[in-house]
Amino acid sequence: MQKPSIPKGTRDFSSIEMQRRNYIFDTIKKYFRLYGFEQIETPAMENLNTLTGKYGEEGDQLLFKILNSRLHESKNKEQLQNEFKLSLEHARNTDILTERALRYDLTVPFARYVVMHQHELTFPFKRFQIQPVWRADKPQKGRYREFFQCDADIIGSNSLVNEVELINMMDDVYSALGIPTTIKINNRKILSGIAEVINEPGKIVDITVAIDKLDKIGRENVEKELLEKGITPAAIQQLAPIFESTGNNEAKLNTLRSFLSNSEIGKQGIEEIDFLLKSNTSNLTSQTELDITLARGLNYYTGSIIEVKANAGTLSSSITGGGRYDDLTGIFGLKGMSGVGISFGIDRIFDVMNELDLFKDKLKDQATVQLLFLNLGDAEQAHILGLLGQLRKAGISAEIYPDQAKEKKQFEYAQKKKIPYICTIGSEELNSGQYTVKNMESRQQHKGDLNSIIEYFSQRSAD
């Protein structure tokens, strides 16, 4: 006998968990539709070359690649061996060994989809997509190797109205779920402007990644890291106003306005942020915060960057992330398609809600069925099967205990499954056609013929 197990970083979801997860899915879907997004799905696996190069060097390493099938039947084993040897020496992709991979996110497959289906789509195209993605990360708190993303993207529109709408939608979802959140926003153009101003335009990624750690490792260590990355001490010194930037959104914007006064792209980023903050401040329940340390490693972001964190609980990582990408489809041959989107991390949302005990008020214990018939004998069983058909036609969920087990056992089954009503049928009921339905909690009983029973349940469900 072998011990059963599942791959590292994956999980089974039992009934209670599914009820809770579905509650989150349903809530998110409701708002996706309310805001006018239409649903699509794409395959679990993509061609490897669709995915590589879109997520940064780190991201490429985290792809779950699928080994080609039937390697033993290959006619070119010498080449295979050679490629395998090379793969052992350094990170490498080669069609002969692997040409497919599990999707890493939903955005890149979406870009691929848009290009392939461009003639049947109406732009701006608003799609939502809820599917699992896979990352070969080391599992940790809030980090799984298989998890669901819930994406909403608008592609084919440059308008910042889209960002405003996405922020409104995130706020709606989180206030419906009851999670207190902070929506952090930033803009790649500001980061580009900073790199430009300090004369290190080629080091945008290094600079942003280092700045991102400011609150984690402190200014000194950030400066040390920047030095290690080859940024000149003079440039680092110039960054001082950025490191020292504090205060509210308006104060931070002012700091940036003077810092980026000579950078066209930087000024553009400031204007965009300014617009978002002004458009959104009124009716949101979440706090909106300009956070210039917000970088996001994904290669494809070019404008707005958005991230949501829960204000309560112990999970420090983000529960939603997103941003604008000006040219993701360009790689696949469709230029001039700017898009912006967000992704809800439902597995982390689930963890936060569990920790904060937020499901208690949202979901009651759900019984599998309303009514259980005890099974006491062959004749009774046959009779009950007939009754079940009529009850279900009337919309009443009911079942029969499949075995003719001891009554005590059948009662315990109902109790454990929290089935609210029991009906016992024996020879007396068979003859009279009068049945007794018992409420397990109140122990009250209702007696009558089938129509009376149906009537009884109809009234209950109307309450």
Residues that bind RNA (CB under 7 A): 7-9, 56, 58-59, 105, 135, 137-144, 147, 149, 209, 212-213, 216-217, 295-298, 307-308, 316-321, 343, 345, 347-348, 376, 405-409, 411-412, 414-416, 422, 424-429, 436, 438, 440-441, 443
Residue for token pair 């002004």? 278
Beta carbon nearer to RNA, 286 or 343: 343
Number of alpha carbons in the 13 Å side-chain half-sphere of residue 124: 18
In the complex, what is the shortest distance from the CB of residue 450 to RNA, in angstroms, rounded to a whole number? 15
In the complex, what is the shortest distance from the CB of residue 62 to RNA, in angstroms, rounded to a whole number? 7
Beta carbon nearer to RNA, 263 or 375: 375
> d(Cα 179, Cα 170) in Å, to the nearest integer?
11
In the complex, what is the shortest distance from the CB of residue 358 to RNA, in angstroms, rounded to a whole number? 17
What is the CA angle 50-191-211, rounded to 5?
A: 100
Non-local CB neighbours of 14 within 8 Å, separated by 6+ positions: none
Q: Strand 445-448 to strand 435-439: parallel, antiparallel, or no bridges (unpaired)? A: antiparallel
Instruction: Tell me if 109 sits within 8 A of 50, measured CB to CB.
Output: yes
Beta carbon nearer to RNA, 70 or 443: 443
In the complex, what is the shortest distance from the CB of residue 261 to RNA, in angstroms, rounded to a whole number? 29
> d(Cα 355, Cα 335) in Å, to the nearest integer?
45
In the complex, what is the shortest distance from the CB of residue 262 to RNA, in angstroms, rounded to a whole number? 28
Beta carbon nearer to RNA, 277 or 440: 440
Beta carbon nearer to RNA, 319 or 371: 319
In the complex, what is the shortest distance from the CB of residue 367 to RNA, in angstroms, rounded to a whole number? 12
Beta carbon nearer to RNA, 242 or 376: 376
Instruction: Tell me if 120 sits within 8 A of 89, measured CB to CB.
Output: no
In the complex, what is the shortest distance from the CB of residue 140 to RNA, in angstroms, rounded to a whole number? 4
Beta carbon nearer to RNA, 411 or 457: 411
In the complex, what is the shortest distance from the CB of residue 266 to RNA, in angstroms, rounded to a whole number? 21
Beta carbon nearer to RNA, 261 or 427: 427
In the complex, what is the shortest distance from the CB of residue 334 to RNA, in angstroms, rounded to a whole number? 22
Instruction: Tell me if 145 sits within 8 A of 132, measured CB to CB.
Output: no
Beta carbon nearer to RNA, 281 or 445: 445
Name which of 411, 403, 191, 207 is nearest 291 in CA terms. 191
Beta carbon nearer to RNA, 121 or 136: 136
In the complex, what is the shortest distance from the CB of residue 278 to RNA, in angstroms, rounded to a whole number? 25
Beta carbon nearer to RNA, 9 or 121: 9
Name which of 58, 48, 112 is nearest 296 in CA terms. 58
In the complex, what is the shortest distance from the CB of residue 341 to RNA, in angstroms, rounded to a whole number? 10
Distance of CA 192 to the CA centre of its chain: 29
Beta carbon nearer to RNA, 415 or 451: 415
In the complex, what is the shortest distance from the CB of residue 59 to RNA, in angstroms, rounded to a whole number? 6
Adjacent-strand bridge partners of 445: 438
